[in-house]
Chains A and B, each alone.
Chain A
Amino acid sequence: MVYIKCRDVVAKISDIIDHEASLMTRMRFYGHIMMCKNCRRYFDQFKEVHALAGKVTADDLPPDFEQVMGAVMDEIEGHKDA
């Protein structure tokens, strides 16, 4: 197995979690992770925060959302009549 540096392991994390890494990269990555405490910790934290980011939802709609879009519709309908 070709040696891979910690810096390169960290650089590959997004490819790993987005399933965009090649088989060879995955093997080197996980081989390193097993042996290296620091990269393992970093990877765990990265995954955890990434998972939480996926749970953040878009802002709730403002109460006047209808009004916001209504103003756009007025413009559209006014334009058509003109």
Chain B
Amino acid sequence: MQGTGVFQGDSDDLTALKAGDSDAWRVVLVRYGPSLLAYATRLLGDRASGEEITQDSLVNIYRTIDRFDGRCSLKSWLYRAVHNRAIDEIRRRKRYVDVGDQGLEDYFNAAGRWRHDCPGWDGLAAKQLDDKRLLGKVREQMDCLPHAHREVLFLKEVEGLDSAEICAALEISPGNLRIRIHRARAALRAAVVEA
């Protein structure tokens, strides 16, 4: 595994992980566990489910670590496992909310110009909130967005994963990620500003 450049500097010791070294696993849990748990919780909407899904996913990753081929980072691999498990659960509960293509298009007429004036920021209710409340509103609205938006916003804006890591975790192309990030941000702006 040396010299592949796949792992970051503070590299995850894949050899030890594959050998079942519990110290190496402990390091992985401490390093990534909190973010994975937060991600699952944000997607599922409640902490108990988030904990259960994270636990299940991590145990499953431990059991199937031999299948990890190092083509993406371990971090992306972990997110992918938790993500897929969480989405399965959300779909099982028939609660998954996808997004259509519309949204932004409603603002414009056939000529591509604004149909109505965009309201000025200073006149908006959101602007009247103090900083802390406004941040609270952003957070609250983020948790109300369709899952497809929440996923990319959490990974990109909250956890700060880079594009390659997000693409690997969500198994989408860079072009698709660009589009999804933009739509998700636009949806968040609309939820915060127009609500």
Contacts and interface: CB of A to CB of B under 8 A. Distances in A.
Contacts of B120: 41
Contacts of A59: 37-38, 41-42, 47
A6 B112 contact: yes
A53 B58 contact: no
Contacts of A44: 121
Interface stretch (B21-29, B68-76, B83-91): B21-29
Contacts of A68: 33, 37, 51, 54-55
Interface string A1-45: 000011110110111001010000000000000000111011011
B25 A76 contact: yes
Nearest to A18: B181
B158 A53 contact: yes
A54 B4 CA distance: 32
B56 to A, nearest CB: 9
Interface stretch (B5-13, B92-100, B165-173, B183-191): B183-191
B142 interface: yes
A11 B55 CA distance: 39
A56 B186 contact: no
Nearest to A57: B158
Interface residues on B, range: 35 or more
B158 A76 contact: no
Nearest to A68: B51
A64 to B, nearest CB: 8
A20 to B, nearest CB: 7
B134 interface: yes
Contacts of B134: 52
Contact of B185 (A14, A41, A57): A14
A57 B41 CA distance: 13
A49 B120 CA distance: 14
A3 B182 CA distance: 22
Given A49-B189, A76-B62, A77-B22, 17 more contacts: A8-B112, A10-B107, A13-B182, A14-B178, A38-B118, A45-B121, A49-B192, A49-B193, A50-B157, A52-B135, A56-B139, A59-B41, A62-B37, A65-B37, A68-B51, A69-B29, A69-B58
Interface of B: 20, 22, 25-26, 29-30, 33-35, 37-39, 41-42, 47, 51, 54-55, 58-59, 62-63, 104-105, 107-108, 111-114, 117-121, 124, 134-135, 138-139, 142, 153, 157-159, 178, 181-182, 185-186, 188-189, 192-193
